[in-house]
Structure 1
Amino acid sequence: MTLPESTADSPLPGAVQRPVARWRAGHLAEQADWIAEEVPVAVVCNGRDFAVMMATPADLEDFALGFALSEGLIATPDELLAVALRQQLEGLTLALTIPAERAAALAQRERSLEGRSGCGVCGSRRLEDLLRIPPRVTADPRISAAALDAALSGLAAHQSLAAATGATHAAAWADRDGRIRLLREDVGRHNALDKLTGALHRGGIERGDGFAVVTSRASYEMVMKAASAGIAVLAAISAPTALAIALADSTGLTLIGFARPGGCAVYTHAGRYAGRPGGEP
């Protein structure tokens, strides 16, 4: 895929430089600042419009696969037959080619609204489309407190967009020892997770060998996307919602919130998390 010109020419994909007048202690400095890009990305399946997401134009091939899987457009990665990126005046189009029987089913559950960068389920027409329950996760890793601490401590070193712009979320994959294996960033938290799950599949990484960490709250769609990808442990640095907890419980996913080096809160299926001596998380 060819990335948009602004991103392709940038030393920091997903960001552009813009002038800023910066005031500090009463002094003015005219500078160039790194700004995260946020563009409309239309997802088209076999020539039929499906959704428009506001996203950061980087790692879009990962996003295409992760989004197609989490939205149920395809059942397995090999059903994504082709991806083409097209730049238009209004934004970008991801043209997906999927099996004809999958494309036919989309007529029953098209999206009619844009998906804003803060919304992973905007535009769903029916309740059953919004509240799709993924299959129960089958992976069963055991995650230690030390591994979670290591992953949380290692996030910043991999967040190049956030370091430069201060405007992006991250979704990371850590192995059982807490080493960050993959990390994807986006202005939308759900986009970052779709990018991560797409990268996991493309890299052939087994979801039973680690856990996911997100730099956001754990909302319903984050749990849905994680469970759909077969991720058994999802740790968020902020709080979960009640619906997220209910979905995590029903799908067998271990949901961790308020994850910080030194502590966390485990809301569902706590047996996968081995806390510190004395039973404390």
Structure 2
Amino acid sequence: MFISTPNHRPKARIRTQLLRIEYGRALVKSDLLASEEPLEIRLLASSGQVSKKVSEGAKTLAVTMRTPGHDFELAAGFLLAEGVIAGREDIARIAYCTDPGEPQQYNIVNVELKAARLPDLAPLERHFYTTSACGVCGKAGLENLQRRYAPLEAGWTVSSEVIAKLPSQLRAHQPLFAQTGGLHAAALFDRYGNLLALREDVGRHNALDKLLGWALLEYQLPLCEHMVLVSGRASYELVQKALAASIPLLCAISAPSSLAVELAREFNLTLIGFLRDSFNVYSGAERLDIGPSS
């Protein structure tokens, strides 16, 4: 395992020296970079193992490259999106790894479940290794998702004017992106366009997991009257994560993938792409309060 074991809490950004070329001249400058470090997510059954060596009672579920910060939310959101847990009530405790006599390891998170034994993870049919770029390697089949989720109900509508204003709110509340220029973001809005929470990370999947983890730990689920905006493209995995939290409307600054559109249509999720002043609606147009199409 390549996990490092720092004695100090890793930072979300670091300063580095660089050489900048301007008009043929070389200048020594400094710059802030978004940090990227591994996070190992481990599961424990609720039978006292947290007081023992983690190797005796814990199971490594995933390793993801992430920007340090909101690590507990990231772990909780990942478990929710993968169907390992159904809600906040399934979690007994989340903590950084601390074996007796050893320093705290801020790149390892232990999640203790309220269960005498760990769930069967084999049906997920995944290799639980993730990167900041691509999410979990592989994906559960559509049949598995159909067993886990029902199509989303329409319920409410939102105006196109409200949707068009979401990107400006996203940009205004991205402090780490403003400093480093190298982070994705996922933002949660209510049906009226009010920003409720925002999380940043080098990985767009991680950013959304952190956001879902926040909602789970704050007892805000399900998010059936909310919208999410992601700063990059909309992938199959991001649509799947939205379904896990019952989010009916997912917006992306960039393009959706073909599988994302297919999955959104299958579960009646409103999927919007290329969101700027205008936008494309790929599915679920009935949730938008717009004029007649031409």
Q: Residue 25 of structure 1 corresponds to which residue in structure 2?
A: 23
TM alignment of 1:1-281, pairs within 5 A:
4-7=8-11, 14-46=12-44, 47-86=58-97, 92-100=107-115, 103-109=118-124, 111-112=126-127, 114-122=129-137, 128=141, 132-133=145-146, 134-136=148-150, 137-138=152-153, 140-205=155-220, 207-261=223-277, 263-275=278-290, 277-279=291-293
Kindly indicate whether the alpha-carbon contact (under 8 Å) linking 2:223 and 2:246 is maintained by their aligned counterparts in 1: yes
Kindly indicate whether the alpha-carbon contact (under 8 Å) linking 2:228 and 2:250 is maintained by their aligned counterparts in 1: yes
Letter in 2 for 1:234: L
The DSSP-based 3-state class of the residue aligned with 1:193 is helix
Q: Residue 55 of structure 2 corresponds to which residue in structure 1?
A: none
What are the ranges of 5 or more consecutive residues in structure 1 without an aligned counterpart? 8-13
Cα distance, 1:97 vs structure 2: 0.8
Letter in 1 for 2:10: S
Kindly indicate whether the alpha-carbon contact (under 8 Å) linking 2:10 and 2:68 is maintained by their aligned counterparts in 1: no
Structure 1 pair 110/244, CA: closer, same or farther in 2 (3 Å)? closer
TM-score, scaled to structure 2: 0.82
Structure 1 pair 177/109, CA: closer, same or farther in 2 (3 Å)? closer
Deviations 1:198-235 (A, max 9, x none): 11233344623331000111110000000111100000
Structure 1 pair 265/3, CA: closer, same or farther in 2 (3 Å)? farther
Cα distance, 1:30 vs structure 2: 2.1
Letter in 1 for 2:286: G
Cα distance, 1:63 vs structure 2: 0.9
Distance in 2 between the 1:148 and 1:85 partners?
38
Deviation larger for 102-111 or 77-86: 102-111
Q: Residue 10 of structure 1 corresponds to which residue in structure 2?
A: none
Kindly indicate whether the alpha-carbon contact (under 8 Å) linking 1:139 and 1:230 is maintained by their aligned counterparts in 2: no
Distance in 1 between the 2:69 and 2:33 partners?
14
Cα distance, 1:81 vs structure 2: 1.3
Kindly indicate whether the alpha-carbon contact (under 8 Å) linking 1:50 and 1:110 is maintained by their aligned counterparts in 2: no
Kindly indicate whether the alpha-carbon contact (under 8 Å) linking 1:121 and 1:130 is maintained by their aligned counterparts in 2: no
The DSSP-based 3-state class of the residue aligned with 1:217 is coil
Distance in 2 between the 1:123 and 1:227 partners?
18
Structure 1 pair 144/258, CA: closer, same or farther in 2 (3 Å)? same
Distance in 1 between the 2:106 and 2:142 partners?
26
Letter in 1 for 2:259: L
Letter in 1 for 2:120: A
Distance in 2 between the 1:77 and 1:26 partners?
57
Distance in 2 between the 1:191 and 1:266 partners?
25
Letter in 2 for 1:41: L
Kindly indicate whether the alpha-carbon contact (under 8 Å) linking 2:128 and 2:137 is maintained by their aligned counterparts in 1: yes
Deviations 1:236-272 (A, max 9, x none): 11111111111111222111111112x1111111100
Structure 1 pair 3/79, CA: closer, same or farther in 2 (3 Å)? farther
The DSSP-based 3-state class of the residue aligned with 2:136 is coil
Provide the identity percentage.
36
Distance in 2 between the 1:100 and 1:109 partners?
19
What are the ranges of 5 or more consecutive residues in structure 2 without an aligned counterpart? 1-5, 45-57
The DSSP-based 3-state class of the residue aligned with 1:104 is coil
TM-score, scaled to structure 1: 0.86
The DSSP-based 3-state class of the residue aligned with 1:267 is strand
